[in-house]
Copies of this chain bind each other. A is one copy, B any other.
Amino acid sequence: MSSAEAPRWKRLEPDTRREQILECAARLFGERPYADVSTTDIALEAGVARGLINHYFGQKRDLYLKVVKRMLLMPGLEENVPMTGSLRQRVERSVEWYLNTVATHGKTYVAVTGSGGIGSDPEVDRIISEADDVASSKTLEFLGLKVEVGSDVRHRAMMRSYAGLVKATIREWIRGGTLSREDAHLLLSEALITIVRDVFPQLAQQAGPERGDAKAPKTGPKRGRDEK
């Protein structure tokens, strides 16, 4: 008799298991609405007992928050966009950066930042708002308009508002396909330029002249980023 009984389950490192569950959860939350994803589903997907989810993440809501955080961490945040050239050039590179990072997340991003799903959870709003803040600061930095953090809440608020435009536009692009990537690029670029130029007039000077190049519209410097 072979005494080597096959173990009924595999024993993993906490971090590994956590990451695995997080990945399955992210996928499911991207496929169907929050309420339609039971913890049982996630556990089944991860090949794990349901109780383990609570053990690692506490409440289901907490798991969801972790998923949101993980996604909004914005991987690729470090690949600096060189802030040279005219304001328009820099704006368009920033927009391309937006579109690229989002393209990698696809459905899940749209689901998480969804327009007005069921709920409006204050905690989720806070997290998304923070992420918007980070992205905003980064954008301002790309544009050469970096203002010290926490100083001008008004500018940051306006950039969060702009983030609302970005997300809505991306939603039109990814979900319905009612806008092409070029349309999204155009809309977001023009809007951002307007904001910087007309709403932050004093900063615009510091940023240098708008023109100085020929503006290559469609094809921006596409980072070789492919899905999955």
Partner-B contacts on A (CB < 8 A): 33-35, 61, 64, 68, 110-122, 124-125, 128-129, 153-154, 156-158, 160-169, 171-172, 176, 178-179, 183, 186-187, 190-191, 193-195, 197-199, 201, 204, 210-211, 215, 217-219, 222, 224, 227-228
Contacts and interface: CB of A to CB of B under 8 A. Distances in A.
Nearest to A183: B154
Contact of A114 (B120, B161, B163, B219): B120
A194 B199 contact: no
Among A118, A163, A204, A227: residue with most chain B CB under 10 A: A118
Among A68, A112, A198, A224: residue with most chain B CB under 10 A: A198
Taking the full assembly, how many copies of this chain does it contain? Answer: 2
A201 B218 contact: yes
A119 B121 CA distance: 9
Nearest to A162: B165
A157 B128 contact: no
A157 to B, nearest CB: 4
Contacts of A195: 187, 190-191
29 contacts: A34-B119, A34-B121, A61-B118, A110-B120, A112-B120, A114-B116, A117-B118, A117-B119, A117-B124, A118-B120, A153-B178, A157-B179, A157-B183, A158-B187, A161-B179, A162-B168, A163-B168, A164-B165, A164-B166, A164-B168, A186-B199, A186-B228, A191-B194, A193-B194, A198-B218, A198-B219, A198-B222, A217-B227, A217-B228
